[in-house]
Amino acid sequence: MLAPPVQRLVTELGKLPGIGNRTAQRLAFHILRTSPQDANALADAIRDVKEKITLCEVCFNLAEGPRCTICADERRDPALICVVEEPGDVIPIERTHEYRGRYHVLGGALSPIDGVEPGDLKIAQLYARIAGAEEPVSEVVLATNPTTTGEATALHIATALRERAPDVTVTRLASGLPIGSDLEYADEVTLGRALSGRRAL
Ligand SMILES: [Zn+2]
């Protein structure tokens, strides 16, 4: 029914999370109606992030260049590392203004059922980073999601760190976060409280 180029756009938009076929069609027709400048700006923005954004060589957060803005910021405390699952989890923690340390982005959570093993995440890189740190790391905050896989990941890392880096205090976000939900949906007041009330594991 649709001209092939339109159908192609609908198909591509439909691959986005949370976008069903009807929404994809609506968005495609919206893009058809917009000015060439606006449509090109969208296409350019997509191309740009794919070309320019890489993972930070230190913490695996998104970065333009070898290091992310947080790792490049000398004012951020290198003795404190907050471990999160995805780059998107850094944003809600930053919004709380409760945290002045660095991050480590795992790239997911352990889930043996889905075939996600420790080697698939940046876990070894975390241990290497702690072992090789110029300024010693004093605390690792495990801020993985309060889900089954997030909890399993936190437990796995806490157990390993107790052996590998006994001098490092390992903490977990305090309860109060909605169980089973993702960090990125937590409001900043709740997340700020969870951060300031973090407890040793
Ligand atoms: Zn970084």
The model's pLDDT over 13-24, given as tens digits with 9 standing for 90+, comes to 999 999 999 999
CA of 54 to the centre of ligand 1 (A): 11
CA of 56 to the centre of ligand 1 (A): 5
Residue 76, Cβ neighbours under 10 Å: how many? 15
8 A C-beta contact, residue 167 and residue 187? no
DSSP 67-110: S-TTTT-TTSEEEEEEEESSGGGHHHHHHHT---EEEEE-SS--
Mean pLDDT of the chain: 93
Mean pLDDT of 92-104: 94
| pLDDT tens sequence across 38-66 | 999 999 999 999 999 999 999 999 999 99
**Residue 8 vs residue 195, higher pLDDT:** 8
CA of 158 to the centre of ligand 1 (A): 21
Predicted confidence (pLDDT) at residue 184 exceeds the cutoff of 80: no
CA-based nearest residue to 23, from 13, 38, 12, 31: 13
Residue 80, Cβ neighbours under 10 Å: how many? 18
CA of 57 to the centre of ligand 1 (A): 7
CA of 59 to the centre of ligand 1 (A): 4
| Beta-strand pair 77-84/139-142 | parallel
CA of 66 to the centre of ligand 1 (A): 8
> Tokens 């002045």 map to which residue?
100
CA of 127 to the centre of ligand 1 (A): 15
| pLDDT tens sequence across 112-140 | 899 999 999 999 999 999 999 989 999 99
| pLDDT tens sequence across 153-166 | 999 999 999 999 99
CA of 168 to the centre of ligand 1 (A): 20
Predicted confidence (pLDDT) at residue 174 exceeds the cutoff of 80: no
CA of 3 to the centre of ligand 1 (A): 44
CA of 134 to the centre of ligand 1 (A): 15
> Tokens 């973090």 map to which residue?
198
**Residue 4 vs residue 146, higher pLDDT:** 4
CA of 174 to the centre of ligand 1 (A): 24
